């Protein structure tokens, strides 16, 4: 039978109370650990706030690390209904007279009317292929106002636009089916059905998805005669569809110089300015430096720095009224962060090559409380006299002396300075050239229409549309077909096809050692390229920065790891071999601050190191608390065992005493003695 224990009942001792008080004393080390952990958790939370403030500051600095943030230009037309405009950091300030003579539009052609949209047009059990080409219609007589058919015209295929085919079978040989098949093929043609309300009201309307004169359509039909009668369209021959709108370029003049564009967005007429034509007419356009935008950017820089400084200061401040300090008061890590930020802003910028090297020169200066102040008058003067150099004080800037060399980027490891550039090899493109002139320009389906080709390591089989071409036309058709292959398009690969005297050459659009082209087979391989075509792989650009070899990749040269120019990246767009001038490179304050704060917040940065240390301390406290808690259980058990033994001992003493008293009372004479004594 289990015993029932009530500590102290035998002796009258408050065993539970005694043990509880003793354990409270034993618990004090854990209480101290709890207090330390609470303090560390507070520190950890405060570092989270510091990290958040630094991250917000870094995001602002990252956006200010680009020239475009400070080198804004405005492009303002007098009449914004005629055109709108946007200027980049490369814009050339000035006043321009712009005339819009015509707007770009896409070609539309329409079939003859049909009685129903869902009735079969082709004969049963037939398969028909529609082949689409895009190009320019020229010569002959054009339809009046663009509506009608051409007479005596010539169609010249645009090799840069991919061709495509659509297959029509019993399942889709109605007007609706043809419309849906064309749209699903995504060939650059939009198909719709319109009704004119007549006896045969339904017309299939095909519209090029691309505006401009070079996007006019040619449709070849192979298969069912009824579908050919409905859909065959060759502007230079049979036209079974009627043009309802001609493909047309946008045209106009800039300061009297004629311009033309396949779209209404014109990006190459004025340096650094994009025009968006709205309607016909003439207007003046003013392109100017946007000093207000640049001033706002500098103000945003000052505000971002002061916001961060204010957050850190509040966390480290001491309030004399409450006699309490902030959660990070005296924290050496946060003090170190403040010092590093201030120290960076007190350094000068090198490598710009201009007259501005410090923030004070544009009106930005430190105040007694460590914040930044901006003298807007001094900044406006700097923007007026040194607009480009102001941007260089904040962003990473690279400028070259050779017009065929462009600054393309840098890394945080690139050292500011001036680097002499020498080019020892220009990048080339991989290509394959035929060993003989094309055998026949007549392409016959299943006979000489297939070609297996590998471009930049990706292989594909292509089929050239059957037909009779001249050399230039066949080259254009081959290029369009090749660039329309899904395997190439999905990999971002393209190529050009040229011919000289009937000898064809396929050239990859890519530059460098990874650029290559080879013919691997196909029914038309020998006809097009002869028995032994020659393949030549591309080579990378090569050169040096201040005498130190750079790394070439395609047309780009990049400074090698471990060199002062590490990460400096230049695009070599042709030119001669040998000395090619120099490149000035500088890292502005926003760029440097973005990099500095990024390192602070990185896995090996000061913030991470401090928070990792705090987390380790918290983990150590948890481990120590676990050990102490386990030990307390043992101590309490020992106390209870000891006091239980004492309780039993005292109880035994009391029992013995009571027994002795009883026995003594029963001895002869003792009782009377006891009684007499009472009397």
Cα separations in angstroms, 449 against 217, 283, 434, 442, 470: 22, 52, 16, 9, 15
Name 79's Cβ contacts closer than 8 Å, sequence gap at least 6. Answer: 281, 283
The answer to whether 272 touches 87, Cβ cutoff 8 Å, is yes
Residue 326 has pLDDT above 90, yes or no: no
Which backbone phi and psi does 112 adopt, to 5 degrees? -70, 165
For the residues 339-351, what does the mean pLDDT come to?
A: 91
The answer to whether 421 touches 507, Cβ cutoff 8 Å, is no
Question: 401 vs 327, which has greater pLDDT?
Answer: 401
Residue 574 has pLDDT above 60, yes or no: yes
Considering only 43-47, 78-82, 189-193, which range has the smallest mean pLDDT? 43-47
- Kind of pairing between the strands at 429-433 and 257-261: unpaired
Distance CA(193)–CA(430), nearest Å, equals 45
Would you state the pLDDT for residue 679?
43
Query: Which residue, among 221, 206, 69, has the nearest Cα to 131 in the 3D structure?
Result: 221
Assign 3 a pLDDT band (cuts: 50, 70, 90).
Answer: very low
The answer to whether 417 touches 564, Cβ cutoff 8 Å, is yes
Exposed, middle or buried, 421 (CB in 10 Å: 0-12/13-18/19+)?
buried
Would you state the pLDDT for residue 676?
53
Assign 9 a pLDDT band (cuts: 50, 70, 90).
Answer: low
Query: Which residue, among 527, 373, 539, 351, has the nearest Cα to 440 in the 3D structure?
Result: 527
DSSP per-residue string spanning 356-385? --SGGGGTEEE-TTS-EEE-HHHHHHHHHH
For the residues 448-474, what does the mean pLDDT come to?
A: 94
Question: 199 vs 71, which has greater pLDDT?
Answer: 199
How do residues 367-415 score in pLDDT, each as one tens digit? Answer: 999 999 999 999 999 999 988 889 889 999 898 999 999 999 999 899 9
Distance CA(456)–CA(444), nearest Å, equals 28
3-state class percentages of the chain: helix first, strand second, coil last, to nearest 5: 35, 30, 35
Would you state the pLDDT for residue 171?
92
Exposed, middle or buried, 6 (CB in 10 Å: 0-12/13-18/19+)?
exposed
| Residue 327: other Cβ atoms inside 10 A | 18
Percentage of the residues of the chain whose pLDDT score is greater than 90: 68
The answer to whether 76 touches 286, Cβ cutoff 8 Å, is yes
Positive or negative: CA dihedral 109, 115, 116, 119: negative
Residue 352 has pLDDT above 80, yes or no: no
| Residue 118: other Cβ atoms inside 10 A | 10
Would you state the pLDDT for residue 518?
97
Assign 1 a pLDDT band (cuts: 50, 70, 90).
Answer: very low
Assign 208 a pLDDT band (cuts: 50, 70, 90).
Answer: very high
The pTM score is: 0.75
How do residues 229-238 score in pLDDT, each as one tens digit? Answer: 999 999 999 9
How do residues 129-159 score in pLDDT, each as one tens digit? Answer: 999 999 999 999 999 999 999 999 999 999 9
Assign 678 a pLDDT band (cuts: 50, 70, 90).
Answer: very low
Would you state the pLDDT for residue 10?
53
Distance CA(511)–CA(178), nearest Å, equals 41
The answer to whether 453 touches 540, Cβ cutoff 8 Å, is no
For the residues 642-650, what does the mean pLDDT come to?
A: 76
Considering only 56-70, 88-102, 646-660, which range has the smallest mean pLDDT? 646-660
Would you state the pLDDT for residue 669?
63
Residue 616 has pLDDT above 90, yes or no: no
The chain-wide mean pLDDT, for the chain, equals 90
**Edge-to-edge strand list for the sheet holding 202-208:** 189-195, 202-208, 108-110, 242-245
Would you state the pLDDT for residue 4?
41
Residue 342 has pLDDT above 70, yes or no: yes
How do residues 587-608 score in pLDDT, each as one tens digit? Answer: 999 999 999 999 999 988 888 8
How do residues 504-562 score in pLDDT, each as one tens digit? Answer: 999 999 999 999 999 999 999 999 999 999 999 999 999 999 999 999 999 999 999 99
Assign 251 a pLDDT band (cuts: 50, 70, 90).
Answer: very high
| Residue 473: other Cβ atoms inside 10 A | 19
Helix (H) or strand (E) holding 343, with range, is helix 332-345
Residue 316 has pLDDT above 50, yes or no: yes
Distance CA(77)–CA(287), nearest Å, equals 9
How do residues 92-115 score in pLDDT, each as one tens digit? Answer: 899 999 999 999 999 999 999 999
Would you state the pLDDT for residue 116?
95
Helix (H) or strand (E) holding 173, with range, is none
For the residues 413-423, what does the mean pLDDT come to?
A: 94
Assign 8 a pLDDT band (cuts: 50, 70, 90).
Answer: low
Residue 674 has pLDDT above 80, yes or no: no
Distance CA(413)–CA(567), nearest Å, equals 7
């Amino acid at each position: 039978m289990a015993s029932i224990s009530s500590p102290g009942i035998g002796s009258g001792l408050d065993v539970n109370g005694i043990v509880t008080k003793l354990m409270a004393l034993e618990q004090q080390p854990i209480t101290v650990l709890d207090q330390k952990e609470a303090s560390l958790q507070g520190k950890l939370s405060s570092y989270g706030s510091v990290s958040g403030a630094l991250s917000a500051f870094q995001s602002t600095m990252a956006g200010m690390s680009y020239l475009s943030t400070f080198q804004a230009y405005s492009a303002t037309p007098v009449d914004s209904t005629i055109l709108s405009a946007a200027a980049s950091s490369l814009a050339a300030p000035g006043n321009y007279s712009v005339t819009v003579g015509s707007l770009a539009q896409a070609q539309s052609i329409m079939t003859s009317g049909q009685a129903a949209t869902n009735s079969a047009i082709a004969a049963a059990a037939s398969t028909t292929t529609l082949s689409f080409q895009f190009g320019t219609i020229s010569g002959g007589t054009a339809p009046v106002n663009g509506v009608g058919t051409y007479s005596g015209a010539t169609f010249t295929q645009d090799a840069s636009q991919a061709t495509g085919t659509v297959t029509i079978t019993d399942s889709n040989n109605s007007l609706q089916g043809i419309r849906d098949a064309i749209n699903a093929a995504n060939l650059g043609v939009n198909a719709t059905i319109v009704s004119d309300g007549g006896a045969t009201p339904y017309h299939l309307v095909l519209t090029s998805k691309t505006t401009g004169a070079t996007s006019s359509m040619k449709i070849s039909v192979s298969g069912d005669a009824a579908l050919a009668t409905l859909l065959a369209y060759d502007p230079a021959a049979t036209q079974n569809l009627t043009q309802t709108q001609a493909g047309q370029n946008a045209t106009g003049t800039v300061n009297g110089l004629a311009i033309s564009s396949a779209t209404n967005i014109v990006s190459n007429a004025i340096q650094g300015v994009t025009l968006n034509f709205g309607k016909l007419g003439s207007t003046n356009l003013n392109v100017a430096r946007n000093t207000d935008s640049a001033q706002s950017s500098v103000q945003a820089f000052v505000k971002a720095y002061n916001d961060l400084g204010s957050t850190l200061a509040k966390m480290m401040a001491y309030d004399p009224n409450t006699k309490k300090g902030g959660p990070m008061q005296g924290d050496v890590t946060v003090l170190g962060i403040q010092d590093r930020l201030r120290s960076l802003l007190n350094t000068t910028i090198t490598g710009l090559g201009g007259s501005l090297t410090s923030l004070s020169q544009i009106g930005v200066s430190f105040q007694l409380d460590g914040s930044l102040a901006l003298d807007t008058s001094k900044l406006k003067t700097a923007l007026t006299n040194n607009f480009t150099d102001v941007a260089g004080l904040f962003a990473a800037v690279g400028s070259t002396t050779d017009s065929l060399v462009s600054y393309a980027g840098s890394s945080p490891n690139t050292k500011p300075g001036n680097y002499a550039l020498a080019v020892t090899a220009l990048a080339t493109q991989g290509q394959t050239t035929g060993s003989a002139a094309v055998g026949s320009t007549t392409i016959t389906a299943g006979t000489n229409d297939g070609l297996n080709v590998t471009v930049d390591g990706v292989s594909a089989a292509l089929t050239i549309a059957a037909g009779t071409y001249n050399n230039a036309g066949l080259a254009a058709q081959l290029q369009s077909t090749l660039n329309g292959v899904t395997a190439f398009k999905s990999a971002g690969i393209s190529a050009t096809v040229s011919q000289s005297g009937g000898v064809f050459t396929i050239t990859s659009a890519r530059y460098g050692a990874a650029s290559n082209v080879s013919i691997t087979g196909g029914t038309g391989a020998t006809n097009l390229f002869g028995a032994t075509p020659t393949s030549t792989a591309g080579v990378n650009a090569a050169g040096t920065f201040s005498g130190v070899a750079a790394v070439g990749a395609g047309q780009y040269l990049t400074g090698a790891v471990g060199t002062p120019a590490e990460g400096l990246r230049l695009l070599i767009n042709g030119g001669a071999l040998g000395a090619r001038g120099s490149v000035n490179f500088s890292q502005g304050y926003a760029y440097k601050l973005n990099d500095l704060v990024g390192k602070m917040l990185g896995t090996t940065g000061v913030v991470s190191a401090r928070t990792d240390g705090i987390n380790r301390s918290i983990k150590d406290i948890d481990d120590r608390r676990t050990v102490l808690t386990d030990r307390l259980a043992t101590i309490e058990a020992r106390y209870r065992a000891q006091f239980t033994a004492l309780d039993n001992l005292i109880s035994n003493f009391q029992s013995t005493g009571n027994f002795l008293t009883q026995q003594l009372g029963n001895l002869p004479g003792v009782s009377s003695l006891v009684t007499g004594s009472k009397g």
